[in-house]
Amino acid sequence: MHFQMKDLTPRERYKLLISSVTPRPIAWVTTIGANGVVNAAPYSFFNAFGDSPALLVLGLLHDGEGADKDTATNIKAGGEFVVNLVREDDIEQMNLSCADVPRDVSEIEYAGIATAPALEVAPPLIATSPVSFECRLVEALDIGTRQSVVIGEVLVTHVADEFVTDPERLYLDTPAMRLVGRLHGSGNYVRTTDTFTVPRPRYDPERLAGRDSTSP
């Protein structure tokens, strides 16, 4: 079965994407509004896209009224944001912070989130996050009528000391962070505990020797 995306509604396209592109990491994004209120909200249209400079990208859909969500408004106006990664123990606060909280109310207080000052940007870090990235806006792309794609350069990466196993070689104890990801549906998440290792192969020309080019 296939689906011509142009024949579907936005909601239907969204369903196909979020039901299949899984697991997705979660960016718990902190920003500051023009009114000085600190905003926090989770975004799973998120990933890392480069290292020179280090880039993070967020997909911010419009709200029910077709307007930018607070995170998008604040990033476009202030040019700064912090991406905090989510550990299992923060699921409840992260989930509370996705509620439709009025613009003049801070999710930080509403959800009881602990914060710490950032070094280079105004929005704070989430203190309990194993890793936080201080970001400066590189570009906000309004593609279509329903969303903005925000590209940020990572200025500073914070890793909680307990997860840095070798500061010289930058080895991190990623499993110990117990990060969670987003799955299909509206309330499904995944732990990062069921892992396996596949060594990366070298090219081996012998694999092709004598093989019929039509065989798989």
- Tell me which residues touch ligand FMN (CB under 6 A): 26, 39, 41-45, 59-61, 69-71, 95, 98, 100, 182
Q: Is the peptide bond before 123 cis (omega within 30 degrees of 0)?
A: no
Q: Shortest Cβ distance from residue 26 to ligand FMN (Å)?
A: 5
Q: By C-beta, is 98 or 196 nearer to ligand FMN?
A: 98
Q: Shortest Cβ distance from residue 101 to ligand FMN (Å)?
A: 6
Q: CB–CB of 85/24 below 8 Å?
A: no
The strand order across the sheet containing 180-182 reads 24-25, 180-182, 189-191
Q: CB–CB of 118/135 below 8 Å?
A: no
Q: Shortest Cβ distance from residue 73 to ligand FMN (Å)?
A: 8
Q: By C-beta, is 4 or 186 nearer to ligand FMN?
A: 186
Q: CB–CB of 130/177 below 8 Å?
A: yes
CA–CA separation, 80 and 102 (whole Å): 21
Q: Shortest Cβ distance from residue 56 to ligand FMN (Å)?
A: 13
Q: By C-beta, is 29 or 169 nearer to ligand FMN?
A: 29
Q: By C-beta, is 41 or 111 nearer to ligand FMN?
A: 41
CA–CA separation, 163 and 149 (whole Å): 30
